[in-house]
């Protein structure tokens, strides 16, 4: 035997045993399952908020109800429709308004499972278990569900009526109600408004004073006329002499009046 065959033989054996076991199980117990869906109901929830912080993939949103939502790891694949354009976390800005619409669909359904088995009773332990010899000749133990009925020659009996050698068939029907809930979220938003223009403040521009042009050489101002050293020839001493005479006459009249009064 070659070394390669030593390795493959156990593998082939295991595969054959597995297939045989699976086929036996399929032949022993037949199972049919059907699902019936009911009417679906939908609910829509809208959440609104404003971005107050963003750094890398870290996002903090203040909701309209005052709640602060800290989202530390926003996936780069997450998208939102903002002003008609699809953006990612890299395009989010502080002040951006976000709106998340969550549509929840709830669908009830009923899963009906029918299990059937046929064989001969080999051993029974009522009311809990029974060992049946199946069509393949293999014995297999089954747990008897509470209230299980067996069909023996067209009559339905419970486990206490089973005897060794009886050929029986049993069918178990189980109905399991389930609810399927699916959610679809759509994120949209608006970019923050542009910053306001700067205030209308007048701008003062300082300019240098103009340099005066050099003045033309001015003619020298005329010197003040010196006072004449002598009176003009038209002048006379007579008025002064007359004034001195009038003063002397007044003084004489005054002295005389004083004497007369003594």
Encode pLDDT of 205-260 as tens digits: 556 566 666 655 555 555 555 555 555 555 566 667 777 777 777 777 777 767 66
Q: CA–CA distance from 216 to each of 42, 212, 213 (Å)?
A: 100, 12, 9
Where are the domains positioned within the chain? 44-105
Assign domain 44-105 one CATH number from 2.40.160, 2.40.50, 1.10.3470, 1.10.10: 2.40.50
- Give mean pLDDT, residues 93-118: 93
Rounded-to-integer distance, Cα 63 and Cα 49, Å: 4
Q: What is the pLDDT of residue 256?
A: 72
Predicted TM-score (pTM) of this structure:
0.47
Q: Tell me how long the chain is.
A: 262
């Amino acid at each position: 035997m070659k070394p390669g065959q030593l390795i493959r033989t156990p593998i082939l054996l295991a595969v054959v045993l597995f297939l045989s076991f699976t086929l036996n199980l399929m032949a022993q117990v037949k199972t049919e399952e059907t699902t019936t869906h009911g009417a679906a109901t939908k609910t829509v929830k809208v959440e609104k908020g404003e971005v107050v912080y963003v750094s890398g993939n870290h996002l903090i949103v203040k909701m309209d109800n005052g709640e602060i939502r800290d989202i530390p790891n926003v996936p780069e694949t997450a998208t939102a429709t903002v002003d008609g354009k699809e953006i990612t976390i890299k395009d989010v800005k502080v002040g951006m308004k976000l709106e998340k619409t969550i549509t929840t669909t709830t669908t009830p359904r009923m899963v009906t499972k029918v299990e059937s088995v046929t064989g001969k009773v080999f051993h029974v332990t009522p009311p809990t278990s029974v060992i049946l010899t199946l069509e393949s000749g293999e014995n297999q133990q089954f747990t008897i569900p509470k209230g299980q009925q067996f069909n023996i020659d067209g009559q339905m009996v419970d486990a206490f009526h089973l005897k060794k050698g009886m050929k029986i068939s049993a069918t178990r029907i189980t109905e399991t109600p389930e609810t399927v809930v699916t959610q679809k979220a759509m994120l949209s938003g608006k970019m923050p408004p542009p910053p306001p223009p700067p205030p209308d403040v007048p701008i003062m521009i300082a300019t240098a004073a103009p340099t005066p042009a050099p003045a033309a050489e001015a003619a020298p101002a005329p010197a003040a006329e010196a006072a004449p050293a002598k009176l003009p020839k038209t002048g006379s001493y007579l008025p002064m002499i007359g004034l001195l005479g009038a003063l002397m006459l007044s003084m004489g009249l005054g002295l005389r009046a004083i004497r007369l009064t003594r």
